[in-house]
Structure 1
Amino acid sequence: MSKFYTKLTSRLQKFIEAQKIFFVATAPISGRINLSPKGMDSFRVVNENRVLWLNVTGSGNETAAHLLENDRITMMFCAFEGAPNILRLYGKGKEIKEGDASWNELITLFPETPGTRQIFDITIDSAQTSCGMSIPFMEYKGERNQLNDWATAQGKEGIAQYWQDKNQTSIDGLPTNILE
């Protein structure tokens, strides 16, 4: 039932673009595995072996900490409507922050989003599809605006303070280098 790919075919790219939610998993060498749902207009396929994910300020910064220590990352997309399908992307990721050489070029690929924290640049090693026949149908009703509203109310200075207070280390105490 499952099939592996060495690149993102046009069919897989179209599947990714149609999804409203995806999941990101990373892990340090030792410590907790992080698995988080992601939404908004925050994912881009650059080519058949490269994707970008725009990450916004949130309660933690686990992905950044994990990728500093261990660059492995997995993303998963599920079909909640239409034909059943699960797609996992396996790769190596790196963080790009404002001020990094490629930031100005890459940030233009995304809509302006309050609380933008970093872009993760992921090289895809392989992709795997599986049946997804056990995944329920779900109806998309729209985006939640609470995070954007919160970030807008904080302003740039409030977001910077939040990073200082809440985003400098992972839940296992690993550095995120958010302020470097």
Structure 2
Amino acid sequence: MSKFYTKITSRLQKFIEAQKIFFVATAPNSGRINLSPKGMDSFRVMSENRVLWLNVTGSGNETAAHLLENERITIMFCSFDKAPNILRLYGKGKEIKEGDENWNDLIQIFPEIPGTRQIFDITVDSAQTSCGMSIPFFDYKGERNDLNDWAAEQGKEGIANYWENKNQTSIDGLPTKILE
């Protein structure tokens, strides 16, 4: 049975902190929905209604484009071990980039990760749990280092070139403003 909350309770926070993977969904006003799996040590619960997600360079930058247009974001966690559970966080997000006012304070909360692109600051309007009894069991074997290795090999200049060539617009042609 699903249940809605107006905040992230301590029990929900513990569940979030135990997960190795989460999923981020955003959508423009018109166009494709973006749904992506995320990992690494890149998610923090800051308060009952605020979370931060450190985003690294990837093939697209859909989340930034969508949040510029309408701020809507959903984050989903699900348990692949132990007790079945699904948790969705619904809210509004904004992008914080290096050079922005809060960057220096917020980046210190996360480990140094090559290819860091931005932090998304999300105000959580509501949280929803559901049973997750159909979710299969999976064993966690460890983190992949492929993206970190690639980003480290690129260096800051290579990452900046990648952003210029591949991260300035969404797949629907919306601006990401990554270089502004």
Q: Scaled by the length of structure 1, what TM-score is found?
A: 1.00
Aligned-partner SS, 1:169 = coil
**Per-residue displacement from partner, 1:136-165 (whole Å, max 9, x unpaired)?**
010000000000000000000000000000
Q: Which runs of 5+ in 1 are unaligned?
A: none
Q: 2:88 & 2:118 partners in 1: Cα distance? A: 22
- Pairwise CA distance, 1:72: 0.4
Q: Counterpart in 2 of 1:159?
A: 159
- Pairwise CA distance, 1:67: 0.2
**Per-residue displacement from partner, 1:76-116 (whole Å, max 9, x unpaired)?**
00000110000000000000000000000000000000000
Aligned-partner SS, 1:99 = coil
Q: 2:64 & 2:8 partners in 1: Cα distance? A: 24
Alignment of 1:1-180 (within 5 A): 1-180=1-180
Aligned-partner SS, 2:114 = coil
Q: 1:47 & 1:108 partners in 2: Cα distance? A: 17
Q: 1:161 & 1:114 partners in 2: Cα distance? A: 15
Q: 2:177 & 2:64 partners in 1: Cα distance? A: 8
- Pairwise CA distance, 1:22: 0.1
Paired-residue identity, %: 86
RMSD, aligned CA: 0.2
- Pairwise CA distance, 1:40: 0.3
Letter in 2 for 1:173: G
Aligned-partner SS, 1:105 = helix
Could you list the structure 1 runs, at least 4 aligned residues long, displaced by more than 2 angstroms after superposition: none
Q: 1:98 & 1:40 partners in 2: Cα distance? A: 20
Aligned-partner SS, 1:151 = helix
Count of residues paired in the alignment:
180
Q: 1:48 & 1:17 partners in 2: Cα distance? A: 14
Q: 1:81 & 1:15 partners in 2: Cα distance? A: 12
Q: 2:150 & 2:136 partners in 1: Cα distance? A: 31
